[in-house]
């Protein structure tokens, strides 16, 4: 138990803390004080007059909402043996769709419809890559990367040329209707919405579906060894398409939640990098839906902490990016070795 589980985890934590220490020290900041500031940004304590725990939790829970959803998106695809690197593009498609649905008049259950619209757009954005994979054998990584850029330019074109709010100078859509908005978790927060509740529910539901249903078992069998699953009569191509559409829908949901819960509109430069961060969240959770709640929180706390350090001391906020890269490499090298099988 210790050698197999605890030792790699402790070693990983030690490596991350070492890299963090080096980066903070190299930026010329006092290490001990910096760690306290990071902790403050991550969990709100130690409390100071200028910075209340609510500020930290607002940022952490907001990021966690998005990272859990994009992490689940990457995880469900990986469970089926597909590397969906296109969550960023699917998130953009979902966000723009939700922003558009949110501005329509007279829609019943407006927020729900807007979220569903975002999910549909995200799934649509994943459809061609998985079709290419199943029918043409084209690697999904390549095609989802291409679709990321197509989404980037297409949404940019739409928000600057077609769907721009004519009353605004900035390239952004009209704000969505009040009825389409998700309430904030608490009135004194600025970003963290009940989208978090949705993310938690989705994570738990996926856990049940993946580990307690035949469909989930077949998805996992497909990902573990497609040939064996084929031989056992699993419709693997079907399961891959379904898992990928679900993956796209979840990334689209992340975009829709960001629109309906926090931003209330789509705008130029919409934060799509959460889609890439979802890769780290999923890998860290070993693609387990329930564990993405933990890894999603961890990544958000790390981000919020280093961002707080940036705001307080001017240390580069890219420290978080470097740490994330180190974490991915470590997890991949220790936990996710390739078996030699035909792909």
Partner 1 sequence: MSELFDAQLVGTAIRQATPLILAALGGLMSERVGVINIGLEGKILMGAFAAALGTLLTGSPLVGLICAIVVGLALALLHAVATQELRTDHIVSGVAINLLALGLSTYLFRQIIVPREEAGESSVVRMFGAASLGGLENLPGLNALLKDQSWLTLFALVLPFLLLVLLTRTRWGLRVYAVGNDSIKARTMGVPVKRLRYLGVLWSGVLASMAGAFLVLAATGQFRENMSAGRGFIALAALIFGRWHPLGAAGAALGFGFFEALQMRLQGQPVFGVQLPTDLLLMLPYLLTVIALMGLLGKMKPPSDLGN
Residues that bind partner 1 (CB under 8 A): 23, 26-27, 83, 85, 128, 132, 136, 138-139, 141-143, 145-147, 149-150, 153-154, 156-157, 160-161, 276, 279-280, 283, 316, 318-326, 328-329, 332-333, 336-338, 340, 343
In the DSSP assignment, the letter for residue 234 is -
Whether residue 275 contacts residue 88, with contact meaning beta carbons closer than 8 Å, is answered with yes
Contact criterion met (CB below 8 Å) for 226 and 220: no
Nearer to partner 1, 140 or 242 (CB): 140
Closest CA to 144 of 160, 132, 134, 159: 132
Question: In whole angstroms, what is the distance from residue 273 CA to residue 254 CA?
Answer: 11
Distance spanning both ends of the chain, measured CA to CA: 32
Buried b (16+ CB within 10 A) or exposed e, 101-124: bbbeeebeebbebbbbbbbbbbbb
- The candidate with the shortest Cα–Cα distance to 192, out of 35, 47, 323, 54, is 54
CB of 177 to partner 1, least distance (A): 28
Name the token pair of 262. Answer: 């926090």
Query: In b/e form, how buried is each residue of 267-287, taking b as 16+ CB within 10 angstroms?
Result: beebbbebbbbbbbbbbbbeb
CB of 149 to partner 1, least distance (A): 4
If the CB atoms of residues 209 and 321 are measured against partner 1, the closer one turns out to be 321
Q: Crossing angle, helix 87-102 and helix 140-157, to 10 degrees? A: 30
Q: How far is the CB of 329 from partner 1 (least distance, A)?
A: 4
Shortest reach from residue 152's CB to partner 1, in Å = 8
Smallest gap, in angstroms, from Cβ of residue 50 to partner 1? 24
SS3 for 316? coil
CB-nearer residue toward partner 1: 43 or 128: 128
Q: Of 19 and 113, which CB lies nearer to partner 1 in the complex structure?
A: 19
Closer CB to partner 1, residue 57 or residue 125? 125
Pick 81 or 255: Cβ nearer partner 1: 81
Q: In the complex, what is the shortest distance from the CB of residue 310 to partner 1, in angstroms, rounded to a whole number?
A: 10
Shortest gap between Cβ of 96 and partner 1 (angstroms)?
13
Tokens of 207: 């856990």
Distance CA 142, CA 341 (A): 20
């Amino acid at each position: 138990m210790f050698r197999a589980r605890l030792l790699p985890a402790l070693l990983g934590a030690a490596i991350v803390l070492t890299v963090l220490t080096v980066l903070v020290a190299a930026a010329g900041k006092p290490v001990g004080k910096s760690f306290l500031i990071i902790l403050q940004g991550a969990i709100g304590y130690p409390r100071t007059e200028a910075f209340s725990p609510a500020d930290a939790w607002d940022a952490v829970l907001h990021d966690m909402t998005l990272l859990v959803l994009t992490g689940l998106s990457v995880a469900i695809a990986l469970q089926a043996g597909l590397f969906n690197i296109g969550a960023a593009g699917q998130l953009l498609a979902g966000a723009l769709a939700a922003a558009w649905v949110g501005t329509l008049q007279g829609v019943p259950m407006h927020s729900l419809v807007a979220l569903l619209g975002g999910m549909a757009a995200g799934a649509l954005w994943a459809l061609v890559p998985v079709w290419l994979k199943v029918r043409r054998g084209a690697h999904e990584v390549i095609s989802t990367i291409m679709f990321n850029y197509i989404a980037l330019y297409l949404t940019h074109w739409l928000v600057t040329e077609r769907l721009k709010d004519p009353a605004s100078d900035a390239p952004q859509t009209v704000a969505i209707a009040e009825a389409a908005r998700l309430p904030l978790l608490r009135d004194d927060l600025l970003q963290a919405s009940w989208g978090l509740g949705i993310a938690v529910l989705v994570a738990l539901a996926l856990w049940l579906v993946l580990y307690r249903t035949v469909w989930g078992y077949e998805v996992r069998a497909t990902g573990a060894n497609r040939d064996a699953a084929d031989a056992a009569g699993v419709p693997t191509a079907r399961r891959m398409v379904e898992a990928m559409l679900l993956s796209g829908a979840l990334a689209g949901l992340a975009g829709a939640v960001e629109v309906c819960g926090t931003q209330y509109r789509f705008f130029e430069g919409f934060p799509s990098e959460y889609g890439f961060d979802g890769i780290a969240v999923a890998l860290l959770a070993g693609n387990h839906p329930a564990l993405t709640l933990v890894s999603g929180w961890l990544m958000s706390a790390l981000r919020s902490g280093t961002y707080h350090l940036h705001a307080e001391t001017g240390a580069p906020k890219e420290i978080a990016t470097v740490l994330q890269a180190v974490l991915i490499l470590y997890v991949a090298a220790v936990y996710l070795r390739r078996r030699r099988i035909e792909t």
